[in-house]
Structure 1
Amino acid sequence: MVVMEELKSRNFSLYAQWGGVVSIILLIILGAISFLGNIPFAIIGWIFAFVLVFVEVPLCIKFCPTSPRFDGFVSKFESSYLRGALYLVMAIVMFLSNTIGSATLLNLPAVILLLTSFCYLIAGFKQQPHASSKILGGTGVDNVV
Protein backbone atom coordinates (compact mmCIF):
# COMPACT_ATOMS: atom_id res chain seq x y z
CA MET A 1 0.00 0.00 0.00
CA VAL A 2 2.84 2.38 0.82
CA VAL A 3 4.46 1.86 -2.59
CA MET A 4 1.18 2.64 -4.38
CA GLU A 5 0.78 5.88 -2.41
CA GLU A 6 4.31 6.87 -3.36
CA LEU A 7 3.71 6.13 -7.04
CA LYS A 8 0.53 8.21 -7.01
CA SER A 9 2.28 11.15 -5.32
CA ARG A 10 3.90 12.32 -8.59
CA ASN A 11 6.93 13.34 -6.60
CA PHE A 12 9.95 12.87 -8.85
CA SER A 13 12.37 12.70 -5.93
CA LEU A 14 10.62 9.51 -4.80
CA TYR A 15 10.86 8.09 -8.31
CA ALA A 16 14.52 9.05 -8.36
CA GLN A 17 15.13 7.37 -5.02
CA TRP A 18 13.72 4.12 -6.35
CA GLY A 19 15.84 4.56 -9.47
CA GLY A 20 18.83 4.97 -7.18
CA VAL A 21 18.02 1.73 -5.37
CA VAL A 22 17.77 -0.10 -8.71
CA SER A 23 21.10 1.48 -9.70
CA ILE A 24 22.74 0.21 -6.52
CA ILE A 25 21.55 -3.33 -7.16
CA LEU A 26 22.63 -3.26 -10.81
CA LEU A 27 26.03 -1.74 -10.02
CA ILE A 28 26.78 -4.50 -7.52
CA ILE A 29 25.51 -7.44 -9.56
CA LEU A 30 26.69 -6.35 -13.02
CA GLY A 31 29.99 -5.15 -11.58
CA ALA A 32 30.58 -8.67 -10.25
CA ILE A 33 29.58 -10.25 -13.56
CA SER A 34 31.81 -7.98 -15.64
CA PHE A 35 34.67 -7.92 -13.14
CA LEU A 36 37.17 -9.94 -15.18
CA GLY A 37 36.35 -8.16 -18.43
CA ASN A 38 36.46 -4.62 -17.09
CA ILE A 39 38.17 -4.54 -13.68
CA PRO A 40 38.59 -0.74 -13.23
CA PHE A 41 34.98 0.12 -13.99
CA ALA A 42 33.62 -2.81 -12.00
CA ILE A 43 35.48 -1.47 -8.95
CA ILE A 44 34.30 2.08 -9.68
CA GLY A 45 30.74 0.75 -9.93
CA TRP A 46 31.06 -0.87 -6.51
CA ILE A 47 32.38 2.38 -5.04
CA PHE A 48 29.45 4.26 -6.58
CA ALA A 49 27.04 1.68 -5.13
CA PHE A 50 28.59 2.09 -1.68
CA VAL A 51 28.20 5.87 -1.79
CA LEU A 52 24.65 5.65 -3.15
CA VAL A 53 23.58 3.34 -0.33
CA PHE A 54 24.34 6.10 2.14
CA VAL A 55 22.85 8.83 -0.06
CA GLU A 56 19.59 7.02 -0.82
CA VAL A 57 18.84 4.83 2.22
CA PRO A 58 18.34 7.03 5.30
CA LEU A 59 18.47 4.04 7.66
CA CYS A 60 22.08 3.34 6.72
CA ILE A 61 23.33 6.75 7.73
CA LYS A 62 21.57 6.36 11.10
CA PHE A 63 22.74 2.87 11.97
CA CYS A 64 26.13 2.41 10.31
CA PRO A 65 29.15 3.89 12.04
CA THR A 66 30.72 6.38 9.66
CA SER A 67 33.18 9.19 10.07
CA PRO A 68 32.02 12.80 10.44
CA ARG A 69 33.86 13.60 7.21
CA PHE A 70 31.87 10.97 5.26
CA ASP A 71 28.62 12.13 6.91
CA GLY A 72 29.42 15.68 5.81
CA PHE A 73 30.03 14.50 2.25
CA VAL A 74 26.71 12.63 2.12
CA SER A 75 24.79 15.53 3.67
CA LYS A 76 25.88 17.79 0.80
CA PHE A 77 23.50 15.91 -1.48
CA GLU A 78 20.21 17.00 0.10
CA SER A 79 19.29 19.20 -2.84
CA SER A 80 17.60 17.63 -5.86
CA TYR A 81 19.93 19.56 -8.14
CA LEU A 82 23.07 18.25 -6.43
CA ARG A 83 21.74 14.70 -6.42
CA GLY A 84 20.90 15.06 -10.10
CA ALA A 85 24.44 16.28 -10.79
CA LEU A 86 25.91 13.39 -8.76
CA TYR A 87 23.93 10.84 -10.72
CA LEU A 88 24.79 12.53 -14.03
CA VAL A 89 28.52 12.38 -13.25
CA MET A 90 28.22 8.74 -12.21
CA ALA A 91 26.32 7.92 -15.43
CA ILE A 92 28.98 9.59 -17.57
CA VAL A 93 31.74 7.66 -15.80
CA MET A 94 29.91 4.37 -16.29
CA PHE A 95 29.31 5.17 -19.98
CA LEU A 96 33.08 5.67 -20.28
CA SER A 97 33.47 1.96 -19.58
CA ASN A 98 32.89 1.49 -23.31
CA THR A 99 36.16 3.26 -24.09
CA ILE A 100 38.25 0.47 -22.55
CA GLY A 101 36.64 -2.35 -24.45
CA SER A 102 33.51 -3.32 -26.24
CA ALA A 103 30.05 -2.57 -24.92
CA THR A 104 29.67 -4.07 -21.45
CA LEU A 105 26.89 -4.88 -19.07
CA LEU A 106 27.78 -1.70 -17.20
CA ASN A 107 25.75 0.27 -19.75
CA LEU A 108 22.53 -0.81 -18.04
CA PRO A 109 23.33 0.81 -14.67
CA ALA A 110 24.63 3.84 -16.59
CA VAL A 111 21.24 4.24 -18.28
CA ILE A 112 19.40 3.87 -14.96
CA LEU A 113 21.76 6.40 -13.35
CA LEU A 114 21.01 8.81 -16.20
CA LEU A 115 17.24 8.38 -15.82
CA THR A 116 17.56 8.87 -12.07
CA SER A 117 19.50 12.06 -12.70
CA PHE A 118 16.70 13.32 -14.92
CA CYS A 119 14.12 12.53 -12.22
CA TYR A 120 16.08 14.52 -9.63
CA LEU A 121 16.51 17.42 -12.03
CA ILE A 122 12.76 17.42 -12.83
CA ALA A 123 12.03 17.42 -9.09
CA GLY A 124 14.33 20.41 -8.73
CA PHE A 125 12.75 22.31 -11.61
CA LYS A 126 9.26 21.61 -10.27
CA GLN A 127 10.48 22.70 -6.82
CA GLN A 128 9.19 19.52 -5.25
CA PRO A 129 10.37 18.99 -1.68
CA HIS A 130 12.69 16.06 -1.12
CA ALA A 131 10.93 12.94 0.06
CA SER A 132 12.23 9.48 0.76
CA SER A 133 10.36 6.20 0.78
CA LYS A 134 8.99 4.91 4.08
CA ILE A 135 10.16 1.44 3.10
CA LEU A 136 13.75 2.67 3.06
CA GLY A 137 13.46 4.51 6.38
CA GLY A 138 12.40 7.92 5.10
CA THR A 139 9.46 10.20 5.75
CA GLY A 140 7.32 9.06 2.82
CA VAL A 141 4.75 11.27 1.16
CA ASP A 142 2.95 12.30 4.35
CA ASN A 143 5.19 15.32 4.87
CA VAL A 144 5.23 16.24 1.18
CA VAL A 145 1.64 16.24 -0.03
Structure 2
Amino acid sequence: MYRDDFNRISRTGVLCIILCLALGIANIFSFNAILIIFSCLCIASAFVILFIEVPFLLRICPTSPKFDAFIRRFTTNWMRAAIYVALSAIQFVSLVSRASSLIAAAVFLLFAAIFYALAAVTKQEFVGSKTLGGQGVAQMIV
Protein backbone atom coordinates (compact mmCIF):
# COMPACT_ATOMS: atom_id res chain seq x y z
CA MET A 1 0.00 0.00 0.00
CA TYR A 2 1.35 3.37 -0.88
CA ARG A 3 1.34 6.48 1.25
CA ASP A 4 -1.66 7.77 -0.71
CA ASP A 5 -3.65 4.69 0.34
CA PHE A 6 -3.10 5.56 4.00
CA ASN A 7 -4.34 9.06 3.30
CA ARG A 8 -7.55 7.46 2.03
CA ILE A 9 -7.83 5.46 5.25
CA SER A 10 -7.26 8.62 7.28
CA ARG A 11 -9.91 10.41 5.24
CA THR A 12 -12.33 7.61 6.05
CA GLY A 13 -11.49 8.05 9.73
CA VAL A 14 -12.12 11.79 9.51
CA LEU A 15 -15.41 11.11 7.72
CA CYS A 16 -16.34 8.76 10.56
CA ILE A 17 -15.63 11.53 13.08
CA ILE A 18 -17.88 13.96 11.22
CA LEU A 19 -20.66 11.41 10.71
CA CYS A 20 -20.64 10.16 14.28
CA LEU A 21 -20.75 13.67 15.68
CA ALA A 22 -23.44 14.94 13.29
CA LEU A 23 -25.66 11.87 13.45
CA GLY A 24 -25.25 11.57 17.21
CA ILE A 25 -26.39 15.15 17.68
CA ALA A 26 -29.22 14.75 15.18
CA ASN A 27 -30.60 11.63 16.87
CA ILE A 28 -30.21 12.84 20.43
CA PHE A 29 -33.38 14.88 20.03
CA SER A 30 -35.55 11.82 19.42
CA PHE A 31 -38.16 10.75 21.92
CA ASN A 32 -36.79 7.21 22.17
CA ALA A 33 -34.69 6.71 25.32
CA ILE A 34 -32.67 3.85 23.85
CA LEU A 35 -31.90 5.86 20.72
CA ILE A 36 -30.73 8.77 22.90
CA ILE A 37 -28.29 6.43 24.66
CA PHE A 38 -26.90 5.21 21.34
CA SER A 39 -26.68 8.81 20.14
CA CYS A 40 -24.55 9.67 23.16
CA LEU A 41 -22.38 6.63 22.44
CA CYS A 42 -22.02 7.79 18.84
CA ILE A 43 -20.87 11.23 19.99
CA ALA A 44 -18.41 9.61 22.40
CA SER A 45 -17.16 7.43 19.53
CA ALA A 46 -16.48 10.56 17.49
CA PHE A 47 -14.21 11.93 20.19
CA VAL A 48 -12.39 8.62 20.65
CA ILE A 49 -11.76 8.42 16.91
CA LEU A 50 -10.66 12.05 16.91
CA PHE A 51 -7.93 11.30 19.43
CA ILE A 52 -6.94 8.12 17.58
CA GLU A 53 -6.72 9.75 14.16
CA VAL A 54 -5.21 13.05 15.33
CA PRO A 55 -2.53 12.07 17.86
CA PHE A 56 -1.41 15.68 18.12
CA LEU A 57 -4.47 16.30 20.31
CA LEU A 58 -3.00 14.13 23.07
CA ARG A 59 -0.25 16.72 23.42
CA ILE A 60 -2.41 19.82 23.49
CA CYS A 61 -5.57 18.63 25.29
CA PRO A 62 -5.52 17.99 29.03
CA THR A 63 -6.32 14.29 29.28
CA SER A 64 -5.75 11.71 31.98
CA PRO A 65 -2.84 9.25 31.82
CA LYS A 66 -5.32 6.35 31.62
CA PHE A 67 -7.02 7.88 28.58
CA ASP A 68 -3.63 8.55 26.96
CA ALA A 69 -2.58 4.94 27.53
CA PHE A 70 -5.89 3.71 26.09
CA ILE A 71 -5.51 5.81 22.93
CA ARG A 72 -1.85 4.86 22.47
CA ARG A 73 -2.88 1.19 22.15
CA PHE A 74 -4.27 1.91 18.71
CA THR A 75 -1.05 2.58 16.83
CA THR A 76 -1.13 -0.53 14.64
CA ASN A 77 -3.50 -1.28 11.80
CA TRP A 78 -4.88 -4.37 13.57
CA MET A 79 -5.74 -2.43 16.71
CA ARG A 80 -7.34 0.37 14.72
CA ALA A 81 -9.39 -2.18 12.78
CA ALA A 82 -10.48 -3.72 16.09
CA ILE A 83 -11.64 -0.42 17.61
CA TYR A 84 -13.52 0.51 14.45
CA VAL A 85 -15.26 -2.90 14.42
CA ALA A 86 -16.23 -2.46 18.07
CA LEU A 87 -17.58 1.04 17.50
CA SER A 88 -19.44 -0.15 14.41
CA ALA A 89 -20.98 -3.06 16.32
CA ILE A 90 -22.25 -0.67 18.99
CA GLN A 91 -24.00 1.40 16.34
CA PHE A 92 -25.43 -1.67 14.61
CA VAL A 93 -26.95 -2.71 17.95
CA SER A 94 -28.87 0.58 17.91
CA LEU A 95 -31.03 -0.96 15.17
CA VAL A 96 -32.63 -3.16 17.83
CA SER A 97 -34.49 -0.14 19.11
CA ARG A 98 -35.57 1.16 15.70
CA ALA A 99 -34.05 2.05 12.37
CA SER A 100 -32.37 5.44 12.42
CA SER A 101 -29.69 7.38 10.62
CA LEU A 102 -27.12 5.94 13.04
CA ILE A 103 -26.83 3.05 10.59
CA ALA A 104 -24.82 5.38 8.31
CA ALA A 105 -22.28 5.84 11.08
CA ALA A 106 -22.17 2.08 11.64
CA VAL A 107 -21.58 1.38 7.95
CA PHE A 108 -18.79 3.94 7.60
CA LEU A 109 -17.13 2.71 10.80
CA LEU A 110 -17.24 -0.77 9.29
CA PHE A 111 -15.67 0.53 6.06
CA ALA A 112 -12.83 2.10 8.04
CA ALA A 113 -12.33 -1.18 9.92
CA ILE A 114 -12.16 -3.09 6.63
CA PHE A 115 -9.61 -0.62 5.23
CA TYR A 116 -7.38 -0.91 8.30
CA ALA A 117 -7.74 -4.71 8.27
CA LEU A 118 -6.74 -4.84 4.60
CA ALA A 119 -3.70 -2.73 5.36
CA ALA A 120 -2.81 -5.07 8.22
CA VAL A 121 -3.30 -8.21 6.11
CA THR A 122 -0.96 -6.85 3.45
CA LYS A 123 1.54 -6.16 6.27
CA GLN A 124 1.66 -2.44 5.64
CA GLU A 125 2.99 -0.35 8.47
CA PHE A 126 0.95 2.58 9.62
CA VAL A 127 2.19 5.90 8.27
CA GLY A 128 1.18 8.94 10.27
CA SER A 129 0.02 11.91 8.25
CA LYS A 130 1.48 15.34 8.96
CA THR A 131 -1.89 16.80 8.04
CA LEU A 132 -3.61 14.97 10.90
CA GLY A 133 -0.88 15.59 13.44
CA GLY A 134 1.26 12.51 13.00
CA GLN A 135 4.87 12.11 14.05
CA GLY A 136 6.16 14.90 11.84
CA VAL A 137 4.04 17.55 13.55
CA ALA A 138 4.84 16.25 17.02
CA GLN A 139 8.56 16.50 16.28
CA MET A 140 8.20 20.06 15.05
CA ILE A 141 6.58 21.15 18.32
CA VAL A 142 8.95 19.42 20.74
TM-score tier by shorter-chain length is: 0.7 to 0.9
Q: In the alignment, what sits opposite 1:91?
A: 88
**Following TM superposition, by how much is the alpha carbon of 1:62 offset from its aligned partner in structure 2, in angstroms?**
1.6
> 2:16 matched to which residue of 1?
23
Q: Secondary structure at the match of 1:77?
A: coil
Q: 1:24-70, CA deviations, whole angstroms, 9 ceiling, x for partnerless residues?
A: 11111111111122201100001111111111102211211111111
Once the two structures are overlaid, the 10-residue window that deviates more, 131-140 or 65-74, is: 131-140
Gaps of 5+ in 2: 137-142
Q: 1:11 to 1:84 in 2, by over 3 A?
A: farther
Equivalent-residue separation in structure 1 for 2:21 and 2:13 (angstroms): 12
The corresponding residue for 1:137 is 133
Q: Aligned-pair RMSD on alpha carbons?
A: 1.8
Q: Which amino acid aligns with 1:98?
A: L
- The residue identity in structure 2 corresponding to 1:65 is P
2:124 aligned partner: 128
Amino acid at match of 2:70: F
Mean Cα displacement is larger for which, 14-23 or 53-62?
A: 14-23
**What is the alpha-carbon distance in structure 1 between the residues aligned to residue 54 and residue 18 of structure 2?**
13
| Higher mean C-alpha deviation, range 130-139 or range 28-37 | 130-139
Matches of 1:12 and 1:86, distance apart in 2 = 20
Identity over aligned pairs, percent: 35
* Conservation of the 8 A alpha-carbon contact between 2:3 and 2:127: no
Query: How many residues align structurally?
Result: 132
Which structure is richer in relative contact order (CA contacts within 8 A, separation 6 or more)?
A: 1
CA distance in 1, matches of 2:135, 2:68: 19
Aligned residue type for 1:16: I
* TM value normalised by structure 2: 0.85
Structure 2 residue matching 1:132: 3-state secondary structure: coil
